[in-house]
Structure 1
């Protein structure tokens, strides 16, 4: 049976006894060494500086920030949409208008041959759709119906061969 310690155990360092540890420090601080630059008396050390942000130090960024601050003080709201978004919307709008114009011109210039070809294409597409539906219906039919149709077909083939011989 082992006994549990009730008091924190400090490591015993060579040359130091239990009585040499200051009572006010916590256990962690007594184990860790404090950095030298925390004392403030060593002026010879180079102290770390905060790095400069190259974006904020640029002249363009400063001018833009100053302009935004002045507009805010005057009560002028900045433009609602960024320039890139405006350009993209204009480009999209132009593409839609161009497509509509091309479509209108295509409707106006259709000859009799084009109209006849369009009708034939529509009928072919309709036939393909009907055939596709029939194929799907055949796939969805039960197995015994398929077998019955196969038996009929083979019976008709056998009857046809008997008559020819």
Structure 2
């Protein structure tokens, strides 16, 4: 195969530098290729071995660290548990209780709206409302006041 490449590209021989030694002389020491310090390190070899094993198993390179994946998994499970508990709580309530809760929520909302309106109202309107509340007495209170003791 190498000979075929040489036949196809004869101009490469003129470009390439020839070694200073002759291949046939056994007395000469041939230079060795220098080792890459990164590839020679144990951690790199272990990482490479692990990547090969994962590739053979069909596992892809994971983009997220293990800790982040575990935390996301826990959050997801916690949200699912909360939703299930809320649904169960809703199912356990009777229709009567649900209606009472709806009415209570509506009343609370109306009270909040009235408080907001009162806060935004001018001061003379607030004073007038207070006077109305103090001046209007129920029928029972009027009768109780008019009766002599």
TM > 0.5 fold call = no
- Which structure shows the bigger proportion of residues in helix conformation? 2
Q: TM-score range by the shorter chain?
A: 0.3 to 0.5
TM-score (norm 1): 0.41
